[in-house]
């Protein structure tokens, strides 16, 4: 069963259907739709969904009023809210953001942008309910000691305190950078707003990484599995990272070795793992270098190899890089941002899928990271020869 629930609110049956399909395409998401705000608010009080997509409620209810009412409910105060609004009414978006909306999109909705924003909000709003103080003792997870539980609770509470102001910083910097309320008098100010947005999103990413690593160590991070076109997912990620690679004067080379089957995995966690590995490969490549990405079918099992010809590491540096907050202290690494969480998080997410992540690196020659998924996670490929034998191919 899906582990996430999204509530959709819009007075147009057609818009609701479109938003339902888009939300369901994220994978592992159940949807509940409402035309009116009151019914949705009552539902949210009882069920506390992982995401609210707020279009145009029936009866003329303002988005800001709904968000304000939702935030007033203790159990629903932290639910991420994505507001869909017309570009012709920027004040409605401004009011909704001031009331506590998490993000916004302009109608008509760009499907790709919707998926990106919705996934981000679902990840941002994930609540480790199994760590809650209201659970019965026999329902709580084993955190490995009194000390570990206290550490996890501290990190969770701190992440909540950081997310609240970050949401406001991100939201209002988007409004300014996009000049949604009118042109900014001095063009440099719009550039500054984009810089603020980039910095806030980077900080939010760090907060999420810290919490995810802690949840991995506590054993509370779970998979929401679905069938994924692995080859397409990798190609999409390479396309997403192209601007970053171009800025570093690095190119990608993608190769398929055999027919790549579909994979049973948690798409969001899989993408996070691969993004961390690919970003590291770009980060530590030399200008003019190539990051080679090879997808292999090894006896039906999926293997991905990410190879760069960058600065590389010796054995001690590899061990350090694999530890939480571990960073190899070199003049090169100090030129780049990073917390030292990317590789440990990738390793943990691979292990969560039952995969093996190995690193082969040579100082001044480059690094090769190999992730081998277990055979049982691959979806069986159709037997073409058998199909041909009965005249179907």
Can you give the pLDDT of all 393 residues of the chain as single tens digits?
344 789 999 988 888 888 888 888 887 788 999 999 999 999 998 888 889 999 988 877 889 999 999 988 877 778 899 999 877 777 888 888 888 888 888 877 877 778 877 877 876 555 443 333 333 333 333 434 474 555 656 666 666 677 778 878 888 888 888 888 888 888 888 888 888 888 888 788 777 777 777 777 666 677 888 999 999 999 999 998 999 999 999 999 999 999 999 999 998 889 989 999 999 999 999 999 999 999 999 999 999 999 999 998 888 888 777 765 445 444 444 455 555 677 888 888 998 899 999 999 999 899 999 999 999 999 887 654 444 444 544
The C-alpha atoms of residue 301 and residue 121 are separated, in whole angstroms, by: 32
Q: Which residues, listed in sequence order, are joined to residue 36 by a DSSP beta bridge?
A: 58
Residue pLDDT, tens place only, 244-296: 999 999 999 999 999 999 999 998 889 989 999 999 999 999 999 999 999 99
What is the pTM (predicted TM-score) of this model?
A: 0.55
Q: Which two tokens stand for residue 175?
A: 């409004």
Strand partners, 103: 82
pLDDT confidence of residue 234: 95
What does the pLDDT look like over 291-340, one tens digit per residue?
Answer: 999 999 999 999 999 999 999 888 888 877 776 544 544 444 445 555 56
How many residues would you count in the chain?
393
Residue 304: in which H helix or E strand, if any?
A: strand 301-308
The reply to whether omega before 108 is within 30° of 0 (cis) is yes
At 93-110, the pLDDT tens digits run: 888 888 888 888 887 787
Query: What is the reported pLDDT for 105?
Result: 85
Q: Which two tokens stand for residue 54?
A: 């707020």
Asked whether 295 and 255 are in contact (CB, 8 A), the reply is yes
Which stretch of DSSP H or E encloses residue 359?
A: strand 356-362
Closest CA to 54 of 73, 70, 78, 76: 70
Extract the runs of DSSP E, i.e. beta strands, from 20-121: 29-34, 51-54, 81-86, 103-107
Residue 314 has what pLDDT?
A: 85
Of 101, 111, 110, 86, the residue nearest 180 (C-alpha) = 86
Q: What angle do CA 248, 252, 256 make, to 5 degrees?
A: 165
């Amino acid at each position: 069963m899906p582990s996430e629930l999204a509530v959709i609110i819009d007075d147009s049956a057609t818009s609701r259907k479109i938003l339902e399909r888009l939300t369901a395409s994220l994978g592992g998401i159940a949807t509940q739709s409402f035309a009116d705000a009151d019914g949705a608010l009552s539902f949210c009080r009882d069920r506390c969904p992982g995401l609210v997509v707020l279009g145009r409620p029936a009866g003329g209810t303002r988005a800001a009023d709904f968000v304000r009412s939702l935030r007033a409910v203790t159990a629903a105060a932290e639910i991420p809210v994505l507001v869909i609004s017309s570009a012709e009414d920027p004040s409605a978006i401004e009011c909704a953001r001031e009331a506590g909306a998490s993000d916004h999109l302009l109608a008509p909705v760009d499907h790709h942008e919707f998926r990106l924003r919705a996934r981000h909000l679902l990840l941002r709003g994930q609540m480790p309910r199994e760590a809650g103080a209201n659970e019965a003792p026999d329902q709580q997870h084993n955190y490995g000691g009194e000390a570990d539980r206290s550490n996890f609770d501290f990190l969770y509470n701190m992440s909540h305190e950081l997310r609240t102001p970050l949401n406001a910083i991100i939201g209002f910097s988007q409004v300014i950078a996009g000049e949604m309320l009118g042109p900014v008098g001095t063009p440099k100010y719009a550039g500054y707003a984009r810089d603020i947005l980039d910095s806030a999103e980077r900080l939010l990413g760090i907060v999420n990484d810290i919490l995810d690593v802690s949840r991995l160590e506590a054993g509370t991070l779970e998979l929401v599995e679905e069938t994924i076109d692995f080859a397409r997912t990798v190609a999409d990620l390479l396309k997403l990272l192209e601007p970053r690679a171009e800025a570093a004067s690095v190119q990608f080379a993608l190769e398929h070795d055999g027919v790549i089957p579909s994979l049973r995995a948690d798409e969001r966690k899989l993408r996070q793992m691969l993004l961390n590995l690919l970003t590291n490969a770009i980060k530590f490549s030399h200008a003019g270098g190539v990051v080679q990405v090879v997808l292999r079918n090894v006896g039906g099992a999926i293997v991905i190899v990410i190879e760069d010809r960058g600065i590389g590491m010796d054995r001690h540096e590899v061990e350090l890089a694999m530890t939480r907050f571990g960073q190899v202290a070199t003049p090169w690494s100090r030129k780049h941002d990073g917390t030292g969480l990317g590789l440990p998080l990738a390793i943990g997410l691979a292990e969560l899928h039952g995969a093996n992540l190995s690193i082969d690196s040579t100082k001044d020659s480059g690094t090769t990271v190999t992730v081998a998924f277990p055979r049982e996670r691959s979806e069986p490929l159709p037997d073409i020869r058998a199909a041909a034998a009965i005249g179907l191919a």
